[in-house]
Structure 1
């Protein structure tokens, strides 16, 4: 089950559509959907998590805690709406496109995709683009 939680002044207007989209992405990766929680927050909220759990004293757009067991995808995905908004401006894309990209990015990590090397990052970007195209 996919759930959406809001710790900042933001909400998605199309939660059901996005849940279906994420579910289809997981299914097409031949995996099963467990409990996935999206938590939308601000920079301060996510920065605290980054310092406390990852020892990174930096701002970031997403932190995901992966609780996947075998082929059952599950975890908590924290997204800073402030970072996403800035990144959308930096990358010259719409705010919602960047929100969706970050949302699927977190799930793709749970599916086993990495982004630390140039090659892995390129593969991740291709997968993001593939699933973003499914949104039409």
Structure 2
């Protein structure tokens, strides 16, 4: 999977943390058997930026921990008809994640686990949303949270 990372936090996210997020999301992509030509981005932001985005796109005027913006909706047919071999070469863009580093620190402290665990949790949580998982219904929540826990535990980011 091609993954682009952007840091809007004036270097509050260490190189080690960026590497961890990248490796974790690659690991999660393998767990979901995503094709190699899948792509997405992760942008690390602070509370003011994510608060502005949350207000603009969700109508909620407060900072949040992670926002997921899916690029391609699943189940919809493409209006372009092309050769299957050519179509297989076109990257699948999952979308974009925005993670508030301020919320990562706040929630890690509140929950009593490491900043890296919280950062990884939010990255995987958003990643699963980009892949069509949701937690609106109890059954969907159980499925998503179980997979989320499995990915984090198997990667080694346990609580």
Q: What's the TM-score, normalizing by structure 1?
A: 0.86
Which one of 122, 129, 133 corresponds to residue 149 of structure 2?
A: 129
Once residues 55 and 140 of structure 2 are traced to their aligned partners in structure 1, the CA distance between those partners, rounded to angstroms, is 25
> Where does the alignment leave 5 or more consecutive residues of structure 2 unmatched?
75-90
Number of paired residues? 136
- Residue 74 of structure 1 deviates from its aligned partner by 1.7
User: Partner residue of 1:20?
Assistant: 23
Pairwise CA RMSD: 2.1
Which one of 102, 108, 115 corresponds to residue 135 of structure 2?
A: 115
**Helix, strand or coil: the match of 1:130?**
helix
Once residues 120 and 89 of structure 1 are traced to their aligned partners in structure 2, the CA distance between those partners, rounded to angstroms, is 28
**Helix, strand or coil: the match of 1:63?**
strand
More deviation in 32-41 or 97-106? 32-41
**Helix, strand or coil: the match of 2:134?**
coil
User: Partner residue of 1:63?
Assistant: 67
User: Partner residue of 2:97?
Assistant: 77
User: Partner residue of 1:35?
Assistant: 39
Which one has the largest radius of gyration?
2
- Residue 50 of structure 1 deviates from its aligned partner by 0.7
- Residue 28 of structure 1 deviates from its aligned partner by 2.3
Once residues 67 and 95 of structure 1 are traced to their aligned partners in structure 2, the CA distance between those partners, rounded to angstroms, is 28
> Where does the alignment leave 5 or more consecutive residues of structure 1 unmatched?
none
Q: What's the TM-score, normalizing by structure 2?
A: 0.75
More deviation in 62-71 or 79-88? 62-71
Which one of 112, 120, 133 corresponds to residue 100 of structure 1?
A: 120
**Helix, strand or coil: the match of 2:132?**
coil
- Residue 17 of structure 1 deviates from its aligned partner by 5.0
User: Partner residue of 1:3?
Assistant: 4
Structure number with higher relative contact order (C-alpha < 8 Å, ≥ 6 residues apart): 2
